Structure 1
Amino acid sequence: MTVIAIEEHWTSPKLTAALTQLPPERRDDSLALNDGHGITERLEDLGDARIADMDDQGIDLAVISLAPPGTGPLSPADAVPFSRDMNDIAAQAVSRHPTRLRAMATLPMADPSACGAELDRATRLGLVGAMVYGRTGDVMLDDPRYDDLFETAAALGQPIFIHPQIPPRVVRDVSYSGFDEMTDLALSTFAWGWHIEAGLAALRLIVRGTFDRHPDLQIVLGHWGELLPLWSERANGLARFAGLQRSVTETVRSNIYITSSGMLSVALLRHTLAVTTIERLMFSTDYPFQRPTKEQVATFLGEFATETDRQNFMSDNARRLFNIDGAS
């Protein structure tokens, strides 16, 4: 049985250096989470060590994507060439390990006018989908300037993965501060804050009518949907105010895929299946930030009701969405 994991991160020392050298007002503090405990070394390895870790976890094929914050904090002039470089590096890694790796594109979100063209170029390189963030500077993902990107993604059949990101500094100062520095950071990122940011970004896309204009567009959310499935019924009232063609819940069921992101929780699985269908769920480990063992993965996969459901979650849904073939 093939296991495909679709939210497996990497980064480049050159990009990390550029991000850490940004002025404080533009620097992304979540970069600190990419350091220590062997995280940096694993992020930067796209070769034998990564493949060995995949073997240890029982992962047959990984869809790699650039670790947060991507190229988003860079200036438009820097984001475009850096995104191209990252996509070239990712494509080269896939070519070296064609049965073990695929890659999502990195897009120059600081220059909305360049995103569609780079997604098209990355698709021709063989990349599958793209990973973006809900906000670039003060510009939200649902801003009309990004509509060309979504039109291009829908036309190419390329899914867009919305990854969490740290909240704006003003929000962090009000809602996520008052503890020690690292506790503030944890609260505003993986513990709570950045999941709210990602779920809100997806909800804003719905409210903006993005999926009414582009009904074939597919979005991916990690961490069991970034809280959106939990609250979709409450959010359904937005459809009337925004003049949407479908409810939030209907859009979740038709335009949003959801991954586990290493959170191998039976309770979260059952809740998500109460909102959407098994055909919308996919496995991921959020490597190297989460590293479930082969035994933990096998135990969780044993919780599915049927072999068809298990196979959909493990690999078949990812194969269809990302147009993957050739997995070992």
Structure 2
Amino acid sequence: MGTVIDVHTHMLNDKWLQTILDHGGRYSLKELGGQRVIHYDGAPFMTLMDGMFDYQNRIEAMDKAGVDIAVVSLTCPSVYWGGEEVSTATAQMMNDDMANQQSNYPDRIRWFATLPWQYSEKAVQELERASRMGALGVFVSASISGASLTDPSFAAVWNAIDRLEMPVLVHPGAPPGVAEMDMERFNLVFSVGFMFDTTLAIARMIFDGFFDRYENIKIIACHAGGALPYLVGRFDTAFEKMPPCREIISERPSSYYNRLYFDSISYTQEALELCLNVAGSEKLLYGSDYPHNVGDMEGCLSRVEALPSNVQNAVKGGNAIKLFGL
């Protein structure tokens, strides 16, 4: 059957939660529908689930679902909300915790590094430390405090990641304009805002020549890439018909999709198959979004198992083994 590796799955801890409540400014904790929910500018952002704080609970859930290894990461808003000292210390604390949990569950847990991206010198130092501690890759939000991932202020961090050849999980957060676009209503941050955040971030990377500058970086686009699989033809048409789209890159945007990996969190079989057709069988990775309230290890795995039999094992874990060198 092959090894099943979950590349999109999260863990928090109590210290992170208390720190964001003490220092997070625009983030607050409220009760909603009987559950604790982190809010951003008054809009629901993330429902806190018991599984986010309990690794033994996670292992039991993995056993039930048939998942062998979880590559865990912190989730948004990560550590992008504090001053330099607080954000750096919180990133260090999360990396220490995940490294310790890998030691506790050496056959089951691997992890993505958390970095204080907004403080580039500290971020590079923590990246190098986390790499020495065993981090397999790096977690980053699709935008950081309103800045795009191609902002020159992040160049030193990207250079270091490129040198270390570490895969990067690009994860959405609340995009700029939540209040202006009335995304608080109907929790549109989740259903639309997150997908827009990922799509815009990686589209900008492509058109900005990011993948030409950083030839060793491989990007994992969360939630089946947002709208990226659907928009690939539109990007190529824009490149062919609109001169501004050719200011930096000389190849069609679709040619850069070979630098992208996509997780399998698609919510429907049809969307997953579109992603497979666009990305190719070697670039699709199993992910679950566990333990979010929308996470579903078993459901996401069942959709992978409904793919053609000749690609199932690659998507379940074979591609991740190659990507991370496991």
Same fold (TM over 0.5): yes
Q: Which residue of 241, 249, 253 maps to 2:246?
A: 241
Compute the displacement of 1:203 (Å): 1.3
Say whether residues 1:258 and 2:257 are aligned partners: no
Say whether residues 1:175 and 2:144 are aligned partners: no
Compute the displacement of 1:117 (Å): 2.4
Compute the displacement of 1:23 (Å): 6.1
What amino acid is the match of 1:11? L
Say whether residues 1:10 and 2:20 are aligned partners: no
Say whether residues 1:42 and 2:51 are aligned partners: yes
Q: Which residue of 273, 277, 295 maps to 2:276?
A: 273
SS at match of 1:17: helix
2:105 corresponds in structure 1 to 97
Which deviations, in whole Å up to 9, do the C-alpha atoms of 1:112-136 show, x marking residues without a partner? 2222222121111011101111222
Stretch of structure 1 that moved more, 66-75 or 92-101: 66-75
Say whether residues 1:300 and 2:283 are aligned partners: no
Which deviations, in whole Å up to 9, do the C-alpha atoms of 1:177-217 show, x marking residues without a partner? 474xxx2xx212x2111110111111112222111111221
Compute the displacement of 1:293 (Å): 5.8
CA distance in 2, matches of 1:20, 1:82: 13
What amino acid is the match of 1:176? D
Aligned pairs for 1:164-203 (under 5 A) are 164-168=172-176, 171-177=177-183, 179=185, 183=186, 186-188=187-189, 190-203=190-203
Stretch of structure 1 that moved more, 134-143 or 61-70: 134-143
Stretch of structure 1 that moved more, 18-27 or 201-210: 18-27
What amino acid is the match of 2:11? W
- TM-score, length basis structure 2: 0.88
- Change in 2 beyond 3 A, CA 1:148/1:128: same
Stretch of structure 1 that moved more, 267-276 or 125-134: 267-276
RMSD of the alignment, in Å? 2.1
CA distance in 1, matches of 2:26, 2:58: 34
- Change in 2 beyond 3 A, CA 1:220/1:59: same
SS at match of 2:212: helix
Compute the displacement of 1:25 (Å): 4.1
- TM-score, length basis structure 1: 0.87
SS at match of 1:174: coil
Compute the displacement of 1:33 (Å): 4.7
CA distance in 2, matches of 1:19, 1:223: 25
SS at match of 2:79: coil
CA distance in 2, matches of 1:86, 1:229: 32
2:323 corresponds in structure 1 to 321
Aligned pairs for 1:106-255 (under 5 A) are 106-168=114-176, 171-177=177-183, 179=185, 183=186, 186-188=187-189, 190-236=190-236, 237-238=238-239, 240-252=245-257, 254-255=258-259
Whether the 8 Å contact between 1:159 and 1:218 is mirrored in structure 2 is yes
Higher relative strand content: 2
SS at match of 2:180: helix
Total equivalences in the alignment: 308
